[in-house]
Amino acid sequence: MQDDRASYDVAVIGAGINGAGIALDAALRGLKVIVLDQDDLCSATSAISSRLIHGGLRYLEYAEFPLVFESLRERITLRRLAPHLIQPLRINIPVYASARRGPLLIRLGMILYDLLSVGKTVPGHDMLGRQKAIDAEPGLQHEGLRAMARYYDAQVEFAERWVLEILLAARTAGADVRTHNRVDRIVIEDGAVRGLEFTDRITGASQACDARVVVNAGGPWVDEVLATADGAQTQFIGGTKGSHIVVSGFDGAPQDAYYVEAAADGRPFFIIPWNGLYLIGTTDIRYDGDLNHVRASDAEVDYLLDETNRVFPAAQLTRRSIHYAYSGVWPLPRRKKGPEGSITRKHIIRANRKIARGLFSIIGGKLTTYRNLAEQAVDKLAKPLGRKLPACRTQDLELPGAFGRAEAAAALDASDVVTPAESDRLLRIYGGRAAGVLDLATGEQLPLVEAETVFAIRDEMARTLTDIVHRRLMIGLDADQGRPMYARVAAAAAKELGWSDEEREAQLQALQEYSDSLQV
């Protein structure tokens, strides 16, 4: 254990969307912040969503109007702060004779959704009759089709890059961000938080820090994190498992996203054009298994395949059509009874005073509302810190990649080291920060993949090969999971990080095992 303990105002446990947002907000308000995650950033719940920035149309069924209003307002803000990562997405809702929700109910929901979207920057909804719906989408199942609604939300193609940029902004504001650091103990003295003990899972080094406030943003691990506080036993989380499958374009595949009521159980699910592929999901099943080994079950995979084939009959998707699947647990508040869909998606910021003063836990939350959640959470820190905090500034802070996009595009266009397709990809992933990758490629005469790898290590906090492939270069989300590039990326990372041959091979094996774990 090191003796030179660093001191922080706030320690945030968890580097998903909520933890990243809280760290950025707190750092911008002048607080000294450390962020710890047992794995990489955005490596759990934040990465297993449907990757939508949306108001939550189905929340209207449960009268969660304030949540929908908040989400729709945040959608406007987030598109302004990260225009390179968040794009408008048209979504269609086909209405069949067998559906629980008829055309009138859907239309009323659409009208209410538009009313709650005050100041929206996307078009309002429209309704198509049967024939116009068929004309608009010939691959759609015609039998029983009554109408179709069309509306707009937004898509964040790479949630991983989004969380990364929030953390990069937090680091610029002074936050200390440490990935692959597992919290072993929340230190409590005289009934108050005093700090953390943690272990670097890569180096094995045990460390400690002082902290006046701890924010537990551990997602589905919230209860496990709290258990490190002198064995505190809590049951705040009652998570549900969500799974998605990823396939290539198929016969009759739609141009727009589809939000469809499943015939099997009436639950809505998405079919979304994404990353040159199609993302299909999600399921929503109560889960109390191992949080570190969550996989899509055979039943979930069959459900998603069957429902997609029903709506797009020419698709004829099978298990062999699936490139990979991802699955995780939504950290929802514990509720034993009632349908999973009825469990609130509103976030809860809980002060754990019975365990220790200065200890807070985040329960629930959505990608779309992370910024508002963070503002509310940091507001609550003023009292235990005994400080008057300045107002939140995140509503006006563009993320790093939002700057210099035109200049980066011009530099890429003028360069002879990238093709037009590579240029488009770099701008889609890095925004204006693509200029940094180009500078490495030209200045150090590196091929593009090697330049991106070095950039990920030097500028984007990547520490493992899996970090680089799946959450920096994003090739891990391609149809082939980037496998043809693994050896090149490993060689470049080994050179940059000084890995031995044995360490490089161990990193390659860990990457292969991670990618294989996504197979069905």
- What's the confidence (pLDDT) of residue 121? 81
Q: Position 300: which residue type?
A: E
Beta strands in 282-390 (DSSP E): 285-286, 322-330, 348-351, 359-363
- What's the confidence (pLDDT) of residue 1? 41
CB atoms within 10 A of CB 4: 6
- What's the confidence (pLDDT) of residue 452? 98
- What's the confidence (pLDDT) of residue 59? 86
- What's the confidence (pLDDT) of residue 339? 57
C-alpha angle 339/343/349, rounded to 5°?
Answer: 165
CA separation for the pair 436, 434 (Å, rounded): 5
- What's the confidence (pLDDT) of residue 256? 97
CA separation for the pair 294, 327 (Å, rounded): 6
For the chain, domains (ranges, CATH) are 6-45+160-235+346-396 (3.50.50.60), 240-330 (3.30.9.10), 400-516 (1.10.8)
CB atoms within 10 A of CB 6: 14
CA separation for the pair 410, 404 (Å, rounded): 10
Tens-of-pLDDT digits for all 520 residues of the chain? 444 689 999 999 999 999 999 999 999 999 999 999 999 999 999 999 999 999 888 888 888 899 999 999 999 999 999 999 999 999 999 999 999 889 999 999 999 999 998 888 888 999 999 999 999 999 999 999 999 999 999 999 999 999 999 999 999 999 999 999 999 999 999 999 999 999 999 999 999 999 999 999 999 999 999 999 988 999 899 889 999 999 999 999 999 999 999 999 999 999 999 999 999 999 999 898 999 999 999 999 999 999 999 999 999 999 999 999 999 998 988 766 655 554 556 789 999 999 999 999 999 989 999 999 999 999 999 999 999 999 999 999 999 999 999 999 999 999 999 999 999 999 999 999 999 999 999 999 999 999 999 999 999 999 999 999 999 999 999 999 999 999 999 999 999 999 999 999 999 999 999 999 999 9
Q: What share of the chain is helix, strand, coil (3-state, %, to 5)?
A: 40, 25, 35
- Could you tell me where the DSSP H helices lie in 29-142? 65-81, 103-116, 130-136
Q: Is 489 left (phi over 0), alpha (psi -120 to 50) or beta?
A: alpha
- What's the confidence (pLDDT) of residue 132? 97
- What's the confidence (pLDDT) of residue 341? 52
